[in-house]
Amino acid sequence: MFKLLKDRLFSSSFARNCEGNVAIIFALATIPLLIACGTAVDFARGYLVQTRLQAALDAAALAAASARNISDEERIELGEKVFAANYKPGGLAGAAAPIITLVDGSVSATVDTNIQTTLMNVAGVTELSIGTTTQITIPESRNAEIALVLDYSGSMNWNGKYQAMREAAIQLVNTLSEDGDSETVKLGLVPFSHHVYVTLPEQYVEGETGSGMWTGCTYDRMYPYNTLSSTPASGDDETKWGIEVPGDPHNAWGCNGYVSRDLVVQPLTDDFAAVENQLEDMRPYAWTNIALGFSFGWHLLTPNAPFDQGEPASEELLKAIVLLTDGRQTQDSWGPGGSRSVANGEANLEEMCVNAKDDGILVITVAFDLQDQATEDRLRECASGDQYFYVAEDNAELAASFDNITGQLASAIYISG
């Protein structure tokens, strides 16, 4: 019986009928498989196109938002050009042109295109729409007051160091001033060696009582006034800047050396040509008084007399000191109890750095070919953070450091709105 049933089931006619049914079933099953595979392929192509669209659109919006001192129309035109330069569909999709608008201080951009499908055609889907959007806040410019406190002691004559410092500082001035066109930045210069040569109202100079102006070489004020940015009291010599300390061997280095080398304090100004010209002219002279240089840099940035070019501190105003030295403190300074010593000068600098930072000053320090670890450590602590402390062992490293400093200051000026 089993054999008879087997023979009938597998007779030739039954086999032919079975084969036909299987073929039909297989054919019908293949259609959704093809559609599924086609969908996967076409969506993968779509994802690739969208990724390229997004990258090009982000670049366009970022370029339009970050450009400075241009009109709204110019921002939109710039964004369109950047998108066209970056969008490379590679034959996968059609042409695409972004729609860029400026809304509430932001650049808003959107773009759409389509791709022709391949196997999805079987299901009647001939194309896929691809689109994306992005929005970038236009950076808001804030005002800036920056004091360059630069070491012009005699050792800066070695190995072309002051020339390298000069070129780096001039480049910083040109960049931050937008080649002299900035209306938001003011710059000041404090060239220091063992003295600082400056013009002050007579009432703020030790031993002077007049109402006119006094110009000459200064020493620091008595402690603790030499660690503060307060205005000297007209009736109290201890609060005033000194002229000369009896018996100080540095007195022999006369003030005429500062005048002939143009080592004169330049208060905050937007006359960038004057700042650049002075940087071109200044040349090194004598010893090193880092504490006195920093003190005057800090005073330039405050609205306190004797300098009144600085504005009151606010969130909309960046105040920064860039301090560079190539050596340790060699000039005595006033300390507690009426003592004078180099150690006092070092301690005073440490105290001033803390006070200035507490006052909202961004402090950037540069140790340039500095062969004194204690001073290097002091400069590191003085800076507003490790990212604002630089060690430049040669002229090339100094140029690179100033490039970074310029970038940090520019980023701080153009904050996100």
Structural domain of residue 363, as residue ranges?
Answer: 141-416
The pLDDT of 315-337, averaged and rounded, is 96
- Which residues are within 8 A (CB) of 279 and not within 5 positions of it... i.e. 6 or more apart? 166, 169, 170, 173, 189
pLDDT at 29: 46
- Rounded to a whole number, what is the distance in angstroms from the first to the last CA of the chain? 92
263/384 same-domain check: yes
Residue that is last in its domain, among 137, 164, 183 = 137
Indicate whether 106 pLDDT > 50: yes
How many structural domains is the chain composed of?
2
151/129 same-domain check: no
The closest alpha carbon to 356, from 219, 229, 225, belongs to: 229
121/169 same-domain check: no
The neighbour count for residue 115, using CB atoms within 10 Å, is 20
Q: Does residue 83 form part of some domain? A: yes
- List the CATH number of the domain containing 157: 3.40.50.410
- Model-level pTM? 0.74
Residue that is last in its domain, among 103, 137, 171 = 137
Q: Does residue 7 form part of some domain? A: no
Q: Does residue 369 form part of some domain? A: yes
200/331 same-domain check: yes
Q: Does residue 8 form part of some domain? A: no
CA 120, 122, 123, 128 torsion-angle sign:
positive
**pLDDT tens figures, 378-399:** 999 999 999 999 999 999 999 9
127/160 same-domain check: no
54/124 same-domain check: yes
- DSSP helix/strand/coil, 322: strand
pLDDT at 41: 67
371/281 same-domain check: yes
193/250 same-domain check: yes
- Model confidence at 174, pLDDT cuts 50, 70, 90, reads very high
